[in-house]
Structure 1
Amino acid sequence: MTLDALPSHPGGAENLARLLARALLAGHWQPGDLFPKELDIGKHFVVSRNQVRNALASLTATGLLERTAGRGTLVREMGEWHLLDPLMSEWMTGLVNLDPQLVRAIYAFRFSAEPTVAGLAAQAASAEDIARLEAAFEGMRRSAGNPDARAQHAEYDVAFHDATYRATHNLVWRQMGHLLRPSIMALVHRSQHDIKTLDDSLTRHRHVLEAIKACDAHAAETAAREVLRRTAIDLGIVS
């Protein structure tokens, strides 16, 4: 892939790193591809060599690129990407056209983790947590029938999942929920893009809420798993 398909650069090494990282996360270049040379990047975006080097240093530190003397700069295998790095979360924020392979990887993690999170939430949720979950679900319900409110619905959907992570009252899970928020948002946007109705998804989320309110860990795990089964269908991972 060339640099020509990328948007214009607003200036600064941090913005250049963000632009290039988002292109990588969207699959503009694939693992194993040779990344453009410093000189070509600087010429294309009309930036200094120092800015390019600083930007590439950030991409290297987060595992996206590997710079080797004599070989140039290569895109690393996806398994080497530091997806939970705060910088990576920042770059992923608002990005909805993730690489399909990355979508599957994020989904696989969520499918293994979120039923456990929901079960823990059922055991530990406080009245404040329940109120937060109910508010998010009510927002989902209000926006579900309005095709023009899909972006708003996605925000409430992500808020629901965030509230579930917080309701575990486990420091590590709460931090994971925070770091995963951009990737969850990307999957929610992608999964809702082409479907005509959100009724089935809404019903499945309601079952999660009811199970957590009932302090039923097993039911919460089962309900969360069913939410993600629906997500897999909407993402086209399964038919």
Structure 2
Amino acid sequence: MTGAAAPVETLPAPAPSPVANTLAAAAAGTLPDSYLSLRAGTQARGLHGQLVQQLGRMIVAGELGADRPLVPEEIGRRFEVSRTVVRESLRVLEAKGMVTARPNVGTRIRPVPEWNLLDPDVIEWRAAGVAGLDQCRELAELRCAFEPLAAQLAAGRLGEAAGARLAELAAVLKQAAANGDQAGYAKADGEFHALLVAECPNRMVEHLARVVSGAAESAGMRRRSCGPMNDAAAASHQRLADEVVAGDGAAAASVMRAMLAAQLEEQAPAYGLPGQRGQ
């Protein structure tokens, strides 16, 4: 030996890790609202909820468990939390299809196609990561798939009040387009499409619409009008309202499909189409 080891009491204390500070702040309720997850499942659950968020984002980014099993003890030391917190967090991620735990194998990351890709947390993590553009594009494409069906199924089934409101919203859209009122147009457009989905007699379609709408907001996507805001777009909404009230489901679906295709085409440059497939 070349020298005596320094007494333990003279060694500098390790600096707290940034993640540990964040988790402690979450437990104390002192984090800014902008940091907290929008998802009810993990919001306001202290260390457990914040660790789920941190691990989820790291898995999506490929920063954790890409080439070796997840070791709970290592995670606990890294983030300065108890094994109980780690275990509960991994169970949440397992329920989301992101990890799997097997005897003699350990906890490993599952392939992306096996994840619950409609889980609000998973959508949020993907949207905030390297696959953000892909995630936003996929949400827009999914809307193109189910909203024409919703319009078709709602046709001829609207009550008197709902039909009147749909016609009223179409008139509001026309006036907003004429006035160049983007905010008013977007608000009326959102209510117009939400009303059609709500009147669709298929609860699974309605549920899927809520998931996609909430996910879009969580991903930072503000609801956009169906194509450019102009007289032609407003006229398409009026035609859609007329077809739905008249009970022509096929025509209603066709109009809705064209409107959403126009929206997707308008937004294609923002999505980088044709895009690189990410996680």
Query: Secondary structure, in 3 states, of the residue corresponding to 2:109?
Result: strand
Q: 1:14 aligns with which of 49, 57, 69?
A: 49
Give the whole-Å Cα distance in 1 for the aligned partners of 2:187 and 2:220: 9
Which blocks of at least 5 consecutive residues in structure 2 are unaligned? 1-16, 27-45, 275-279
Name the structure 2 match of 1:109: 142
- Map of 1:151-230 to 2, 5 A cutoff? 157-185=189-217, 189=221, 192=224, 198-199=229-230, 204-230=236-262
* Pairwise CA distance, 1:176: 2.9
Query: Secondary structure, in 3 states, of the residue corresponding to 1:233?
Result: helix
Name the structure 2 match of 1:89: 120
* Pairwise CA distance, 1:36: 6.1
Compare 100-109 and 50-59 and name the one that shifted more: 100-109
The amino acid of 1:54's aligned partner reads E
Give the whole-Å Cα distance in 2 for the aligned partners of 1:136 and 1:47: 52
The amino acid of 2:82's aligned partner reads S
Deviations 1:7-31 (A, max 9, x none): 944233134324544x379x53399
Give the whole-Å Cα distance in 2 for the aligned partners of 1:126 and 1:164: 12
Which blocks of at least 5 consecutive residues in structure 1 are unaligned? none
* Pairwise CA distance, 1:182: 1.5
Query: Secondary structure, in 3 states, of the residue corresponding to 2:108?
Result: strand
Tell me which protein shows more helix as a share of its residues.
1
* Pairwise CA distance, 1:90: 6.1
Name the structure 2 match of 1:100: 133
Compare 134-143 and 61-70 and name the one that shifted more: 134-143
The amino acid of 2:90's aligned partner reads L
Compare 55-64 and 176-185 and name the one that shifted more: 176-185
Q: Give RMSD over aligned pairs.
A: 4.5
Kept after mapping to 2: 8 A contact 1:38/1:52: yes
Give the whole-Å Cα distance in 2 for the aligned partners of 1:162 and 1:136: 11
Name the structure 2 match of 1:66: 100
Larger Cα-atom Rg: 2
Identity %: 21
Using structure 2 for the length normalisation, give the TM-score: 0.59
